[in-house]
Amino acid sequence: MPRKFKPSTPLSIGTEIELQLIDIKTLNLSDKAALIVADINDKKHIKHELTRSMLEINSSVHLQLTELKQELAAQVQRVRATAQRHQCDVTGGGRHLCNDWKDQLITNAQRYKKLATRFGYISKMACVFGQHIHIGVSNGDESIYLCHALTPYFPQLLALSASSPYYQGEDTLFASSRFSAQNSFPNYGCIEKIYSWQEFTEYYDTLTSAGVIESIKDIYWDARPKPELGTVEIRVCDTPLHISHAANLVGYCRLIARYLLKNRHEIIPEYNAFSMYNKLNACRHGLQADYVDAQTLQRCSLAEHILTTLTRLHPEAVDDEERQLLQTLERFVRRGANDADNIRRLLDSGLTQPETIKRMCDALLVPMS
């Protein structure tokens, strides 16, 4: 039971990144994750995921973004070198371009086998790849506050990370189609109308007593508290194509969280329809989406919403690294092209889907300009 919330260093950062395991010859997904995880033998940082074609990198806890970037780059280099010894490679991207969900094999672990028994084909269709971002907080009430206060920024994160435009070889017309594999699970999406740690504990106890959930892992909110880690876990992002961009998104989330904690406001309940509308627009149109403010009912472009946020965060930057981060994200937004757009550009230039996947593998360790 999550009755106790283990406090962590406020605004410490960490991330989990799910990578696609790619067969070097076919450029399709490979089911050799168990071999690679066993070879690396670092269960703290390199783990299995739901299917055998998924690898998860878990960072350590950091206070400095530079250190997180260095660790992630080193972990990816290690995973990639090990994968290549098994005739595989790894790439970012929220979804394989042409994978057939029926071909996926569930990882041989008790939790995943249980999920497959319970959810059937949904488990195989959930072979999608995301980035989870952890922000350290002082207590449970703070974690619940941030889960709500971060909600207006989730469409931004969706557009900034979107990298799953294709599904089973077809253009979905979405920048991020990954959500379609996630939203079939119960307890997915917006946080419940819960506003304190006590209320969350009562919610958790009620659901576990009724057998609706077994653990906090069965709560798939866009952001959820992680009491054993002392963090808020943000769960909306596709896995970016560049590991440096993934690290920048962690830094951006920390800046937003710092701003929200410094400028606390009362959480005013709003219709979930606003959140769902904005998130779906971000998934569909990426940086070209529009955005509706749930409080003022004013409409603007999502790109404008991001740029306004970046301007608001500039006074909160504590060092040159954070100021450079904001400038990098501003350039990214003003270019108007995210990873999904770049994948489509490669395909539109005449590359085949396998050739595009090879380019995606090679891009993983290339720094974002």
Q: What is the pLDDT of residue 368?
A: 78
| 68 neighbors 59 (Cβ within 8 angstroms) | yes
Separation of alpha carbons 130 and 125, rounded Å? 14
Q: Which of 127, 171, 128, 162 is nearest to 353 (CA)?
A: 171
C-alpha dihedral (165, 167, 173, 175), degrees to nearest 10: -20
Q: What is the pLDDT of residue 86?
A: 97
Q: Which of 240, 242, 89, 96 is nearest to 165 (CA)?
A: 96
Q: DSSP 3-state assignment of 126? A: coil
- Give pLDDT < 50 ranges for the chain: none
- Per domain, the residue ranges of the chain are 12-364
- Say what the pTM is: 0.96
Q: 12-364: which CATH topology?
A: Creatine Kinase; Chain A, domain 2 (3.30.590)
Separation of alpha carbons 14 and 309, rounded Å? 22
Q: Which of 257, 45, 307, 40 is nearest to 148 (CA)?
A: 257
Count of Cβ atoms closer than 10 Å to residue 204 Cβ: 21
Which DSSP helix (H) or strand (E) runs through 88?
strand 88-91
* Residue bearing tokens 């435009």: 165
Separation of alpha carbons 49 and 280, rounded Å? 26
Separation of alpha carbons 15 and 58, rounded Å? 6
Separation of alpha carbons 52 and 48, rounded Å? 7
Q: What is the pLDDT of residue 187?
A: 84
Which DSSP helix (H) or strand (E) runs through 188?
strand 188-189
Q: What is the pLDDT of residue 1?
A: 52
| 177 neighbors 163 (Cβ within 8 angstroms) | no
Strands 130-136 and 231-238: antiparallel
- Amino acid at site 263: N
Using alpha carbons only, give the angle 260, 263, 269 rounded to the nearest 5 degrees: 65
Separation of alpha carbons 326 and 307, rounded Å? 10
Separation of alpha carbons 262 and 347, rounded Å? 44
* H-helix segments, the chain: 33-40, 65-85, 110-119, 121-125, 140-149, 154-161, 179-182, 197-209, 243-262, 272-285, 302-313, 320-335, 339-348, 353-363
Q: What is the pLDDT of residue 2?
A: 59
Write the CB contacts of 347 (distance below 8 Å, at least 6 apart in sequence). 353, 356
DSSP letter string over 270-302? --HHHHHHHHHHHHHHGGG-EEE-TTT--EEEH
86-96 pLDDT per residue, tens = 999 999 999 99
Q: Residue 149 is encoded by which pair of tokens? A: 């206060």
